[in-house]
Amino acid sequence: MDMASWFRLTYHRRLFLGLVTFLWLMLGCFAAFQYHREKQFKADELNQRLQMINDRIIEGLTDNDSSFEPSLVIPHNFADLRISIIDADGKIVYDNSLDSLPGTNHLDREEISEAMKAGEGYAIRRHSESTGGTYFYAAKRGDGYVVRSAVPYTVSLNQLLAADYAFLWVMIVVTIVMCIIGFFATRRVGRHVERLNHFAERAERGERIFDTEPFPHDELGDISNNIVRLYARLQQAITDRDREHRVVLHEQAEKIRIKRQLTNNMNHELKTPVASMQVCLETLISHKNLSEEKRGEFIFRCYVANERLRKLLADVSVITRIEDGSENIQKEPVKIKELVSEICDEYKEIAAEKGVEITDMISYGHSIIGNVSLLSSIFRNLIDNALAYSGATRIEIKDDDSTDVFLTISVADDGCGVPSEHLPRLFERFYRIDKGRSRQAGGTGLGLSIVKNAVIWHGGSIKVKNRQTGGLIFTFTLLKE
């Protein structure tokens, strides 16, 4: 630690030092003012007492009493009082303490000059004519003369005129008490500022701050609490932003992974029909003498492979449309009851050939906001899946209109069901329980993935489970509006 840091005062100490300096300066100014004021008051009081003597002398002189002696009016406590009478020319015409009257002009004396102008005056001055001592002079103007009384400025008179220091001790005690109170008050404020400064340093370093105790409930504390709350909100906003950023990056990475997987799976799935078509076409070209029956067989095999390829490309197109251009898919009012009825009529003949009965139990007659093509793909793929793999004899489609927000629809069959370990992966792309059987049935492996994406696009969710009586039941929800 360097010397500058060692000698540096904390905010609390600087604040307390400033307060102490202010209090003691204020005490000094007040003491000086009070001292001067009290000394002036006592001087005025002594002046009034001497002026009363001057008044009695002026009264005696006014009565023209030849036997009047000014020194006779001197009180016993003023035995050393000096009385002088000065005429209008400034000459002393009477003085009870002098054997001979000096001829000095006294008009320039402060008390005489003030008495001539204002009627009375006083001054404290060193007497230079005789003893050289200091006197308190009080003068009053009469009719063409000035009466002046003076007392020596002795120790007793100095004590009389001195200020009373009791008030000063009271002010010192009050100031000390205020300093003590100020110490605790400034320490409280200083701690607030130090805590806030420490918080600001941590915030500047970008630290995550969770353990900040609330500041006291005062103005500075409220400001500090507001700053802490603002920083906490900023931290939360940054955390949310980073989390959302990670989620977006994860989603992008997941999309890239899924697209790469889709591409690889498509490449694998395309090889089979393309290879089948290649073999059939090469056989037809190289064996021109094939019988019509064999030629027809190879042509039919080419048609089946081409149809499978067409379905695969169509399913990939649907998935790509949902994932990459979902905001461009138009929404419109769709009546589910009518849509399901049309699809069931469409599959009735195909189902009858396989010995399957499709039961339409949809009762919801209102419209929902959705896309006809995607909604149709949901029901078509679920029906195709049941017809191709379940071995069922009955397919039931029914709804549950028990909430104001969602319409719940279930598609169930009474077939063989699916082993429980395969249920969580049924909606994965190109996932097959029995790959050979699925390809023979003409499936692309994307049907249930299309169903899930279409349901999610409509604001719902889908789940699948085995029925206790046998078969699978797909249950999904659709937003009504």
DSSP letters spanning 278-314 = HHHHHHHHH-TT--HHHHHHHHHHHHHHHHHHHHHHH
Most confident range (mean pLDDT) of 237-241, 260-264, 274-278, 342-346 is 342-346
The tokens for 410 are: 């279930």
Q: Is the pLDDT of residue 347 over 80?
A: yes
More confident residue, 126 or 349: 349
For residues 438 and 355, the model is more confident at 355
The pLDDT value recorded for residue 79 is 67
Amino acid, res. 391:
G
398: which 2 tokens? 């029914």
How do residues 185-213 score in pLDDT, each as one tens digit? 777 777 777 777 777 777 777 677 665 66
Taking residues 412-436, what's their average pLDDT?
80
Higher pLDDT, 76 or 230: 230
Q: What percent of the chain shows pLDDT beyond 70? A: 80
pLDDT tens-digit profile of 28-38? Answer: 888 778 777 77
Q: What's the whole-number mean pLDDT along residues 339-343?
A: 91
pLDDT at 63: 74
In the predicted model, what is the mean pLDDT of residues 64-84?
73
**436 has a pLDDT exceeding 60:** no
What is the distance between the alpha carbons of residues 216 and 224, in angstroms, rounded to a whole number? 9
- How high is the pLDDT of residue 411? 93
Query: Whose CA is closest to 297, among 271, 275, 272, 279?
Result: 279
**437: pLDDT strictly greater than 50:** no
CB 388 within 8 A of CB 450: no
pLDDT exceeds 50 at position 5 = no
Place of tokens 């008390």: 111
Write the burial class of residue 293 (CB in 10 Å: 0-12 exposed, 13-18 middle, 19+ buried).
exposed
Instruction: With cut-offs at 50, 70 and 90, classify the pLDDT of residue 132.
Output: low
Mean pLDDT, range 323-335, rounded to an integer = 77
Domains of the chain: 12-166 (3.30.450.20), 330-481 (3.30.565.10)
Task: Give the pLDDT of residue 307.
Answer: 77
Distance of CA 76 to the CA centre of its chain: 83
Higher pLDDT, 240 or 98: 240
Contact at 8 Å (CB) between 70 and 83?
yes
Residue 396: the pLDDT is: 92
8-state DSSP, 70: G
Radius of gyration of the chain (CA): 59
Per cent of the chain over pLDDT 90 is 9
pTM, 2 dp: 0.46
Under DSSP, is residue 395 helix (H, G, I), strand (E, B) or coil? Answer: strand
> pLDDT category, 125, cuts 50, 70, 90?
confident
Q: Which of 78-82, 306-310, 473-477 has the highest mean pLDDT?
A: 473-477
- Would you tell me how many other CB atoms lie within 10 Å of the CB of residue 302? 19
Q: How many residues does the chain have?
A: 481
Burial class (CB in 10 A: 0-12, 13-18, 19+), 90: middle
Q: Within 10 Å of residue 103's Cβ, how many Cβ atoms?
A: 8
Per-residue pLDDT band at 429 (split at 50, 70, 90): confident
Does 418 score more than 50 pLDDT? Answer: yes
The position carrying tokens 């889709």 is 262
Task: Return the biggest CA–CA distance within the chain.
Answer: 184
pLDDT score, position 139: 92
Between 249 and 233, name the one with better pLDDT: 249
Structure tokens at 214: 């609330």
Contacts of 35 (CB under 8 A, 6+ apart): 163, 168
Q: How confident is the model at residue 7 (pLDDT cuts 50, 70, 90)?
A: very low
Both tokens of residue 299? 């042509």
Mean pLDDT of the chain: 79
DSSP bridge pairs for 84? 95, 148
Alpha helix (H) residue ranges in 325-446: 336-353, 372-385, 435-440
Average pLDDT over residues 345-374: 88
346: part of which helix (H) or strand (E)?
helix 336-353
pLDDT at 183 over 50: yes
Q: How confident is the model at residue 463 (pLDDT cuts 50, 70, 90)?
A: very high
| pLDDT-derived band at 100, boundaries 50, 70, 90 | low
| CA neighbor of 121 nearest in space, from 58, 54, 47 | 47
